Structure 1
Amino acid sequence: MAERAVTDLGFGLGLRSQHYPAILEGTPDVDWFEIISENYMVDGGRPLAKLMAIRERYPMVMHGVSLSIGSTDPLNMDYLARLKALAARVEPAIVSDHLCWTGVAGLNMHDLLPLPLTEEALAHVAARVDQVQSFLGRELALENASTYVTFAQDAIPEWEFLAEIARRTGCRLLLDVNNIYVSAFNHDFRAIDYIDAIPREAVAYIHLAGHENNKTYIIDTHDHPVVGDVWQLYAHAIQRLGPVATMIERDDKIPPLEELVQELAHARKVAAAALKKQAQVA
């Protein structure tokens, strides 16, 4: 299985249909786009045509929400076949999805549900990651999802769980810094400890997004700009991990493309300052 480095991709945005005209009619200062895989797993149509027109100009990463790697249902081979076909068409730098389950017994909850962090779950997920990577013929990147509940059976910190999956399977990690912040607040652990425990070589790229702070809990909504505390956590991640490809997600209350491009420019500045500080410390 050929390994594809994505750390040099630079700074990207999630591709949203509202922005098709601005992208195709201009030259936005975006290095790459991340697509939601399920939006384009079709044989034809306007969205796929627009996607391929943009793909001619920009590198892409594929990001899914339906793999359900943690479910006890058998892997959906029809889904994987369509995912593989889309990857052959798009030729993404990497294919990613979430460390979660989305349903069981054939029922899709349309949500990213947390796993019990146990040795049994770890072995189960690792075996399924091996199966997916073998079928796709490429490495998979798994993202840490934001969580709102934990299991009484939990025996492994999430960061150790993720790191061990990467070690056992050779998969990569999609490190969502906002999700770390959200989960750390909700479950009262130190977000910095999470980042410091992640193996540098496993991280494929980083997600940044906004959230909704309800004072006693935080919900990962992707409908606000990135907040100051998350920018600080991102700076820490870059200082520790080095120059890792980074992108910003916005899934609701989507602003004009130029507004997101400006936020992406801020990400570049934060990363540059963090790398400068890293060099000074070294």
Structure 2
Amino acid sequence: MSQQSTMPLQSTKPDAIPARVGVGLKPEHYDAILTERPDVGWFEVHAENYMGAGGPPHRYLTAIREQYPLSLHGVGLSIGAARPLDRDHLKRLKALNERYQPGLFSEHLAWSTHDSVFFSDLLPLPYDEESVRRVADHVDEVQDTVGRRMLLENPSTYVAFAESTIGEIEFLTEVATRTGCGLLLDVNNVHVSCTNQRWNAIDYLDRFPMQHVGEIHMAGYAPSKDDHGDPLLIDAHDRPADPVVVELYDHALSRCGPIPTLVEWDNDVPDWPTLFAEARRVESVLTRARRDEDAELAVAV
């Protein structure tokens, strides 16, 4: 690896994320990616994995960033927590955005901290006016600090809060309207939440504010059962996307058109050929949506 490839990318301009399929970047795949230069649209990394000052993670990420557009996805900001945002964490996010100039930057609608305790899960929050104000204030603070637009991801949920007075879609729409942030539509989360909460997934997608969506996530879930023997889905990220999730993805694309789409596989990470094959499978759906859109435009002309 050249000396140049280990330097920070302070002068690099953001590369727009193409409307193609990207892959979550894992250390297990660094060498294969740099050696093979696979035909992948872009890569996404979890911000918290690169908040150190240097070392091998940054050397590899810098080399890959020189060849591919990059998206930055945060999982530890705890944007829904009933406490102020961690200013040191925000500073690290800002520095990471400045260093790698990602084309997209996103976070979860969730909380993972309480007082000085940090939880390993992304926990849901009640959907009410107080939460809307708190999340909107936090999104404004993040965007002002980082100096760029953020996408907010719909969560995977397992139970509903009795205190909720607003639907999830209405909540996300209101936050996006108040702050100007975008939305990250996780289709696997849609299927997981709709199954667990007994919602209709097609209706959910038909009501989702696609005008705010800047990125889509695809992943696999683990099937289970609750205490009553009813289906319970876990957002596991440990396998390919289920066919029903692919069908929902196809339906989402019919509403929003081709949008940058990430294949997430964070647990039981497979070898690179297996992950690349999953990316190609999802890419085929995106390519078909692009052809359909082109055909519709041609007919309109």
Q: TM-score, normalised by structure 1?
A: 0.95
Amino acid in structure 1 at the alignment position of 2:243: G
The residue aligned with 2:174 is 164
User: Which piece of structure 1 moves more, 119-128 or 217-226?
Assistant: 119-128
Aligned equivalents of 1:86, 1:5: Cα separation in 2: 15
Among 255, 259, 264, the residue aligned to 2:279: 264
2:138 matches 1:128: yes
Distance 1:6 1:116, change over 3 A: farther
2:120 matches 1:110: yes
Amino acid in structure 1 at the alignment position of 2:155: A
Among 149, 153, 156, the residue aligned to 1:139: 149
Superposed CA offset, 1:29-49 (max 9, x none): 211000010000111111111
CA drift of 1:200 comes to: 2.3
Asked if 2 retains the 8 angstrom alpha-carbon contact of 1:40 and 1:48, the reply is yes
Among 248, 258, 281, the residue aligned to 1:243: 258
Query: Over alpha carbons, which structure has the higher Rg?
Result: 2
Asked if 2 retains the 8 angstrom alpha-carbon contact of 1:211 and 1:224, the reply is yes
In structure 1, stretches of 5+ residues that fail to align are: none
CA drift of 1:234 comes to: 0.1
CA drift of 1:6 comes to: 5.3
Distance 1:5 1:169, change over 3 A: farther
2:83 matches 1:73: yes
Aligned equivalents of 1:9, 1:239: Cα separation in 2: 14
Aligned equivalents of 2:145, 2:155: Cα separation in 1: 24
Superposed CA offset, 1:213-249 (max 9, x none): 1152000000011110000000000000011000100
The residue aligned with 1:193 is 203
The residue aligned with 1:224 is 239
Q: Secondary structure at the match of 1:214?
A: strand
Aligned equivalents of 1:193, 1:277: Cα separation in 2: 22
Among 18, 29, 54, the residue aligned to 2:28: 18
Aligned equivalents of 2:84, 2:49: Cα separation in 1: 23
Asked if 2 retains the 8 angstrom alpha-carbon contact of 1:11 and 1:30, the reply is yes
The residue aligned with 1:34 is 44
Asked if 2 retains the 8 angstrom alpha-carbon contact of 1:69 and 1:129, the reply is yes
Asked if 1 retains the 8 angstrom alpha-carbon contact of 2:16 and 2:69, the reply is no
